[in-house]
Amino acid sequence: MSSLKERVVRHSPSRGPGSPDVWGIYEPDTGSIQYVCADPATRKAALIDVAWNFDPKNYRFSTGSMDQVLDLVRQNGLTVEWVLDTHPHADHVMASAHLKERTGAPNAIGAKVHEIAALWEEIYNMPGAFDPARDFDRLFEEGETFRIGDLEVQVMLSPGHTLGSITYVCGDAAFTHDTLMQPDVGTSRADFPGGSAAQLWDSIQAILALPPQTRLFVGHDYGTATRDTPEWEATVAEHRAGNQHVKDGTAREEWIARREARDATLPLPDRILAALQVNLRGGRLPPAEADGRAYLKLPVNRF
């Protein structure tokens, strides 16, 4: 049986024409789920929210997670067509730039990353440090579409966790990132700079308005007091019937108050101040200094 301390891979097979194959790859250090979404007919694939492993104690990077994802791609005879992220992550470092280099595929994120970059340039006191147009090949707007092989993917703007988070909807699969958690957990936090519980509620309601059998693939899982194996897939119908926070009949203002009260008790993720400096560069380290090494800047007494 798998545990929350192990890397776990599961395949959610295509349900027929227009439905993708989806592999979820659990990253235990951060409880993150990385995804491979593939067109069964053409074997073209997108990599979604893949991590560049980071040790916050020693400030060292390693490639175990992205290597595992690329091994899965090779084992299944897939060709990577896109490297996608749903938002600039606070808890893990994105592998976007490395995967672009290793696969030759373009990388993409939501267009509002410009606004997130401006917010964090002020927090870090690093004006002009981030240039998403330079570091991403495509910045998706709300409602845009693109293709993975013959499958159409629609972009949904899903703010709340961040002001520029997006959801990718491919046939009967939606990659909902840090909006929903599994039904037995509830929803994700909305207290980072630029976040909003009210916006997150609205984003979740838009996701739950998708067809009932849509498979929703969440961004994180940490288990529960009674579940010590990672899970990341449930249908819209399952969330509407049983999500601990937002099942049908939940009142908007009640949920917002509960979400904000919970968020007020949460510490910052231990990787956030390092991760965002890299993620807002598309997964690149800052330019090396005179000694050939890259350095990160940390705001003291800011949070």
Alpha-carbon separation of residue 193 from 49, 204, 248 (angstroms): 20, 19, 29
Query: Do 71 and 102 contact (CB within 8 A), yes or no?
Result: no
Instruction: Give me the pLDDT at residue 4, please.
Output: 86
What whole-number distance in Å separates Cα of residue 188 and Cα of residue 211?
22
Instruction: Give me the pLDDT at residue 1, please.
Output: 55
DSSP 143-163: T-EEEETTEEEEEEE--SSST
Query: Do 175 and 214 contact (CB within 8 A), yes or no?
Result: no
What whole-number distance in Å separates Cα of residue 236 and Cα of residue 183?
10
What whole-number distance in Å separates Cα of residue 167 and Cα of residue 198?
17
Instruction: Give me the pLDDT at residue 237, please.
Output: 98
| Strand extents, DSSP E, 5-113 | 8-12, 21-27, 32-38, 44-48, 51-55, 60-62, 79-84, 93-94, 107-110
Predicted model pTM: 0.97
Element housing 264 (H / E)? none
What whole-number distance in Å separates Cα of residue 140 and Cα of residue 206?
18
What whole-number distance in Å separates Cα of residue 182 and Cα of residue 223?
9
Instruction: Give me the pLDDT at residue 5, please.
Output: 87
What whole-number distance in Å separates Cα of residue 195 and Cα of residue 183?
22
| Domains of the chain, start order | 8-221+230-267 (3.60.15.10)
Instruction: Please name every residue paired with 139 in a beta bridge, in sequence order, or none if there are none.
Output: 109
Given the structure tokens 């749903």, which residue do they identify?
86
Low-confidence ranges of the chain (pLDDT < 50): none
